[in-house]
Amino acid sequence: MQKVRQTKVLKLFVLSLVAVFLLPALAGCGQRDQGNSAVDDAKVLKIGGIPDQDVAQLEKQFNAVAKYLSEELGIKVEYVPSVDYAALLTAFERGEIHLAWFGGLTGVQAQAAVPGAEAIAQRPRDAKFHSVFIKQSVLPIEKLEDLKGKTFTFGSESSTSGHLMPRFFLKQAGIVPEKDFNGGPNYSGSHDKTYKLVETGAFQAGALNEAVWEKAVQEGKVDTSKVQVFYTTPDFFDYNWTVNANVDEEFGQGTKEKIKEALLSIGPEQSEILELFQTDSFVETKNENYDAIREVAKELGIIK
């Protein structure tokens, strides 16, 4: 009897050891399986925008859109900042950015780099956009031809309203920036830096996005006693939301259309987004609307 009891005790001891060593391992396996499932379910739709203004403004704009789209689409949406225009284009071409707020030029560059990429939404004002030419208020500059011999700054080299279209209208006025500006043209990198460079006297004149200028004046960010607009360009198409060709493949058929519908549905309930983008709505657009931008870019040798 004593031997039987010893055998039972031994068996219980062995079973206890098995439980101690095996149960955590089995639990770990279950956790790993759940982890893999979580990873599979955690695809992130990433949005970006050209860095044409200060970082704080961009963070507000695009994080607000990311939050809204996440709620509308039922998937995680994240804003990914870009250091410059080229970085955003590269990320879009690699498929790392699924939806981007481009200018007209960067939009046609993205369409050329990614077959199937589509411009899907814009603000009403983007169908009739303008650049403004500014000058130091004390200077006798009244028309584009008066810029010969002056110091001048564009915005980013990849900007539609800060470089491409201003250069086009300068060309029509008979001005070649590399030859006719004192020291050649400067590139500030963003619209807000452009008006600050003219305001401080670093440059005598410059060109930038009309909407950024208007907002800076409204918010008192620019001293209009020191810098003023002397020329506004004719209309052209500009900013737009462009969706990547890989969206339906990565997030399921119909996702591209859902994104478009969500953007076009932004209304009074999303007043923060509308205010940040200086608009009252987003409207439908298409790649063909930017054919003129594409032709100007080709004419100026910016794209092939």
Across 217-227, b (16+ Cβ under 10 Å) vs e yields beeeebeeeeb
Say if residue 68 is in the same domain as residue 217. Answer: no
Residue 8 inside a domain? The answer is no
Residue range of the domain that includes 209? 130-232
Q: Residue 256's pLDDT is what?
A: 98
Residue listed under structure tokens 């960067």? 106
Residue 304 inside a domain? The answer is no
Among 198, 232, 266, identify where a domain stops. 232
Say if residue 153 is in the same domain as residue 221. Answer: yes
Q: Tell me how far the alpha carbon of residue 81 is from its chain's centroid.
A: 8
Q: Minimal CA–CA distance to 281: which of 270, 290, 291, 292?
A: 270
Among 210, 232, 254, identify where a domain stops. 232
Residue listed under structure tokens 């004046």? 217
Say if residue 111 is in the same domain as residue 257. Answer: yes
Say if residue 202 is in the same domain as residue 163. Answer: yes
At residue 171's C-alpha, the angle toward residues 166 and 174, to 5°, is 130
Number of domains in the chain: 2
Say if residue 107 is in the same domain as residue 243. Answer: yes
Question: Contact 100/47 with Cβ under 8 angstroms?
Answer: yes
Question: Which ranges in the chain belong to alpha helices (H)?
Answer: 2-41, 55-73, 85-93, 104-113, 165-172, 177-180, 191-199, 210-218, 247-251, 255-264, 271-276, 291-299
Say if residue 138 is in the same domain as residue 164. Answer: yes
Question: Contact 216/192 with Cβ under 8 angstroms?
Answer: yes
Residue 37 inside a domain? The answer is no
Say if residue 76 is in the same domain as residue 137. Answer: no
Among 215, 232, 249, identify where a domain stops. 232
Say if residue 119 is in the same domain as residue 259. Answer: yes
Say if residue 61 is in the same domain as residue 139. Answer: no
Say if residue 221 is in the same domain as residue 91. Answer: no
Residue 82 inside a domain? The answer is yes
| pLDDT (tens place) for every residue of the chain, 304 residues total | 444 444 444 444 444 443 434 334 334 433 333 333 333 357 999 999 999 888 999 999 999 999 999 999 999 999 999 999 999 999 999 999 999 999 999 999 999 999 999 999 999 999 999 999 999 999 999 999 999 999 999 999 999 999 999 999 999 999 999 999 999 999 999 999 999 999 999 999 999 999 999 999 999 999 999 999 999 999 999 999 999 999 999 999 999 999 999 999 999 999 999 999 999 999 999 999 999 999 999 988 888 7
Residue 26 inside a domain? The answer is no
Domain CATH for 141: 3.40.190.10
Strand-pairing partners, residue 231, are: 133
Say if residue 185 is in the same domain as residue 57. Answer: no
Say if residue 49 is in the same domain as residue 110. Answer: yes
Residue 276 inside a domain? The answer is yes
Residue 19 inside a domain? The answer is no
Q: Residue 304's pLDDT is what?
A: 77
Q: Would you tell me how many other CB atoms lie within 10 Å of the CB of residue 178?
A: 7
pTM to 2 decimal places: 0.78
Residue 138 inside a domain? The answer is yes
